[in-house]
Amino acid sequence: MILPWITALVILIALIVYAILGGADFGGGVWDLLASGPRAGRHRDLIAEAIAPVWEANHVWLIVVIVLLFACFPLAFAVISISLHVPLALMLLGIVARGASFVFRHYDVAADPVQRRWGRIFAWSSVITPIFLGICVGAVSLGAIRVEGEQVVTGYFAPWVRPFPIAVGFFTLTLFAFLAAVYLTKETRDPELQEDFRNRALLAQLWVVVLALLAAFASRGDQAHVRLFEGLVPWLFTALAVVIAAVATWLLFQRRFTWARVVAAAQVAAIVAGWGASMAPYLVAPDITIENAAAPSNVHLIVLVVLGVGAFVLVPSLLLLYRIFKREPIFETLERD
Amino acid sequence: MDDILFARLQMAFSLGFHIIFASIGIAMPVLMVFAERLWMTTGDRDYYELTKAWAKGTAILIAIGAASGTVLSFELGLLFPTFMRHAGPVISMPFSMEGFAFFAEAIFLGIYLYAWNRISPRLHLLSGVLVAVAGALSAVFVVTANAWMNHPIGFDLDENGNFVNVDPVAAVFNPYAVHEIVHMLVAAYMATGILVAAIHAFILLRHPQSALHRKAFGLAMAMVIPMTIIQPLVGDFAARQVARFQPLKFAAMEGQIRTQTHAPLRFGGFPDYETGETHGAIEIPGMLSFLGFGSASAEVRGLEEWPREDWPHPLTHYGFQLMVLCGVLLLLHTLWATFHWLFRGRRLPDSRAFLWATVFAGPLGMIAIEAGWTVTEVGRQPWVIYDILRIKESATPMPGMIVPFIVTLVVYLGLSAAVILVMHRQIRIAPGLPPTDVQREIAR
């Protein structure tokens, strides 16, 4: 039964990519909300310009996660859908409001007051969505969702209305905001804007640390069975994330933005990967595992083949997209540094 | 029980909302690409302006389609978790392929919309073509998954009702999928085309001299006419497939309560499910037997053959009648245009009467799509997986489903109003017209 583990790994990778790419789009909305001072308008324009061509493609990674989950781990999908109905529905509300208000603001020809209203909705929905995404992630890791004979027995609020999932929700928000601020330093050549977003990134990194500690504290205080922070591998990932975060912070202090962008993405990847490592073998702790939720192995095989073939089309297309729009592609600038 | 009703209504409403934007997302890129191609070959500036205007509309509407599509993929589990628990692995193939089609659509739409000045014209046109192809492929995959719900294959049931011997490859090559896919794609091109034609016809009524809008109107009609002509043939094929695979749905669609030979084709009519008569229909004797089974004397099984609790809701009948009515009206409109084109010097009619007819025909395609999906989906119920799993066995155990339903309703109604508002403003600043107040406002 190695195939389900490979599929689970692919889901984790898709989640990491979603966090690195799609997460930053939500983070952009956070900085839109918090834009203030003499350059607020320029901040908002820069954020919109950076997000516009890529946000729809970045969003598809979430669809990939969902499709793989229901195709390959249908029991896990059913359990998550039932017990986390409320936070998932609120996340969807955020996703719809974010997408719609962003295009409306971008294309609507109306005068300023209407534009501002779309902008408000865009910013607030960008804040709400990551919080509820994080709450769901926190809830499946906590161990408060109990399943007996394929029936969820812990209700619709108890598994997530508690300190740990909510702490993870806000942690996710700050992490995405941090990522967006770091990326935005490379989206402009204007030194004033670069400086603004550097400062914002450093501030967000501070919040990331605070909320990480808070989440760790909340997980200790919670009665339920907790899977995070157990075992060697999760601790190794935690240590790795701390080191990478320190490097990212140092690079920001040094204003080495090209490298900061790469290292900030690595920081998020290490955190999500560490979460995945600490979750294994659980999909929904403590009752749903990779093995007991897995679809028959021929389904995994077929889906992996489809993914493999699809990757041949997807990877060049994505590279083309980022090559066109991220004016200084990561690899080119690395060579010059 | 009410919770299940609200779950069903929420699904129905979400799907009914999404399908409009999905259809536009399939067809609009085709129009956009044709306009761009004409600009490249003729150098006519009008086509450039038209491409730009259509691309903007496409961007807005596809974004709404992407968001509402995401909602649907979650709602499958949020509303019917037991359904997905069983169906997920069997229909894993079309859904995972759909993911890639969605990726391609989003990536190349981003390139198309924002890279006008960054890539060569040929690559730009190609990215538009890829958006159109990916949109059509998304429809193929999603509709294949729906076809499986109507004609579930690729697994066996064990004595406990568990799905065993799951074969996703067998499930994807589903004989029921062919007519659904073709019918849906043709409908998407038809409905979007007539909607676009209606908008430009409306502008032409006020500005008859606008060369740009005459070209836009012509391009949209060039998509509408062939699609409207082939759709009745596709529809006939679809009806025969339904008659073959889902005779119960066929009987419900046609209001055929009693089993009979020489069954008549009915237009309109109100079935009385107690007496077994259908009143007030215009009937063509023997035609239903012929259309469904190829012979006027063929026996058509009526609803009475099945237990009453398995009968689909009467909406199936009315939805079908509404779809056919819209189709007939659109066909008359298209025939008007076609005859004019054939016998009046290869030109589309541009009389005020025809333009007004087009304006009124505008919504009919989308109404037909909604009605047709009502037939497919309501006609499948009480089953969620036809003859295998009932809706009531698959719905979420969560109580208070009225709350998410009302939230969904309010959000989507608000979103609809916003889309109409935004599109209305887009149309008011359409190129090729004297500047409006809005444009002057922007220019300031």
Tell me what pLDDT residue A267 has: 96
Task: Report chain A residues whose CB lies below 8 A from the CB of B404.
Answer: 85, 89
**pLDDT digit string, tens, across residues A51-104:** 988 999 999 999 999 999 999 999 999 999 999 999 999 999 999 999 999 999
Best CA proximity match to A321, nearest among A56, A128, A61, A64: A56
Location of structure tokens 């204007």: A190
Rg of the Cα trace of chain A? 20
B124-149 burial code (b ≥16 CB/10 A, e <16): bbbbbbbbbbbbbbbbbbbbbbbbbb
**pLDDT digit string, tens, across residues B57-92:** 999 999 999 999 999 999 999 999 999 989 999 999
- CB within 8 Å of chain B, chain A residues 25-84: 52-54, 56-57, 59-60, 62-64, 66-68, 70-72, 74-75, 77-82
Task: Report chain A residues whose CB lies below 8 A from the CB of B114.
Answer: 52-53, 325
- Are the beta carbons of B78 and A85 separated by less than 8 Å? yes
> A223 vs chain B: nearest CA distance in angstroms?
25
Task: Report chain B residues whose CB lies below 8 A from the CB of A110.
Answer: 425, 438
Using alpha carbons only, what angle is made at residue B344 by residues B338 and B345, rounded to the nearest 5 degrees?
105
Contact A73, A294 (CB under 8 A): yes
> A206 vs chain B: nearest CA distance in angstroms?
33
Task: Report chain B residues whose CB lies below 8 A from the CB of A75.
Answer: 85
User: A62: Cβ–Cβ under 8 A, 6 or more apart, which residues?
Assistant: A18, A22, B70
**Cα–Cα dist A277/A8, whole Å:** 11
| pLDDT-based confidence at residue B162 (cuts at 50, 70, 90) | confident
Q: Which of the two residues, B1 and A250, has the higher pLDDT score?
A: A250
| pLDDT above 90 as % of chain B | 66
Q: Which residue of A has its CA nearest to B100?
A: A310
Of B99, B109, B425, which is closest to A64 when you measure between CB atoms? B99
Q: Which of the two residues, B346 and A128, has the higher pLDDT score?
A: A128
Domain of residue A245: give its range: 3-336
* Contact with chain B for residue A304, Cβ under 8 A: no
**pLDDT digit string, tens, across residues B282-333:** 888 888 999 888 888 889 999 999 999 899 999 999 999 999 999 999 999 9
**pLDDT digit string, tens, across residues B31-59:** 999 999 999 999 999 999 999 999 999 99
Q: What is the rounded average pLDDT of the residues A221-245? A: 78
**pLDDT digit string, tens, across residues B253-282:** 988 888 988 899 888 888 888 888 888 888
- SS3 for chain B is CHHHHHHHHHHHHHHHHHHHHHHHHHHHHHHHHHHHHHHHHHCCHHHHHHHHHHHHHHHHHHHHHHHHHHHHHHHHHHHCHHHHHHHHHHCHHHHHHHHHHHHHHHHHHHHHHHCCCCCCHHHHHHHHHHHHHHHHHHHHHHHHHHHHHHCCCCCEECCCCCEECCCHHHHHCCCCHHHHHHHHHHHHHHHHHHHHHHHHHHHHHHCCCCHHHHHHHHHHHHHHHHHHHHHHHHHHHHHHHHHHHCHHHHHHHHCCCCCEECCCEEECCEEECCCCEEECCEEECCHHHHHHHCCCCCEECCHHHCCHHHCCCCHHHHHHHHHHHHHHHHHHHHHHHHHHHHHCCCCCCCCHHHHHHHHHHCCHHHHHHHHHHHHHHHCCCCEEECCCEEHHHHCCCCCCCHHHHHHHHHHHHHHHHHHHHHHHHHHHCCCCCCCCHHHHHHHC
**pLDDT digit string, tens, across residues B404-436:** 999 999 999 999 999 998 888 888 777 766 655
> Does pTM top 0.90 for this prediction?
yes
Q: What is the rounded average pLDDT of the residues A185-199? A: 91
In the chain, the amino acid numbered A298 is: N
Tell me what pLDDT residue A334 has: 43
A118 exposure class (CB count in 10 Å sphere: 0-12, 13-18, 19+): buried
Q: Which residue of B has its CA nearest to A87?
A: B78
Tell me what pLDDT residue A332 has: 43
Please determine, for residue B346, whether its predicted confidence score (pLDDT) is greater than 80: yes
- Are the beta carbons of A70 and B76 separated by less than 8 Å? yes
* Contact with chain A for residue B427, Cβ under 8 A: no
Of B97, B415, B442, which is closest to A306 when you measure between CB atoms? B97
Using alpha carbons only, what angle is made at residue B95 by residues A122 and B235, rounded to the nearest 5 degrees?
100
Q: What is the rounded average pLDDT of the residues B103-128? A: 92
> B373 vs chain A: nearest CA distance in angstroms?
23
**All structural domains of chain B with their residue ranges:** 2-256+301-439
Report the number of distinct structural domains present in chain A.
1
Q: Picking from A277-281, B123-127, B433-437, which range would have the lowest pLDDT averaged per residue?
A: B433-437
Which of B86, B103, B120 best tests the A interface by mutation, with the highest count of A CBs <10 A?
A: B103
Average pLDDT score, chain A: 89
Of A63, A152, A303, which is closest to B92 when you measure between CB atoms? A303
Please determine, for residue B440, whether its predicted confidence score (pLDDT) is greater than 70: no
Tell me what pLDDT residue A227 has: 59
Which of A18, A54, A55, A60 best tests the B interface by mutation, with the highest count of B CBs <10 A?
A: A60
**pLDDT digit string, tens, across residues A116-163:** 888 999 999 999 999 999 999 999 988 888 999 888 888 899 899 999
Q: What is the rounded average pLDDT of the residues B200-206? A: 93
* Contact with chain B for residue A307, Cβ under 8 A: yes
Tell me what pLDDT residue B434 has: 62
* Contact with chain A for residue B78, Cβ under 8 A: yes
Q: Which residue of B has its CA nearest to A85?
A: B78
| pLDDT-based confidence at residue A333 (cuts at 50, 70, 90) | very low
CA B81 to chain centre: 25
ipTM of predicted complex: 0.90
- Are the beta carbons of B60 and A104 separated by less than 8 Å? yes
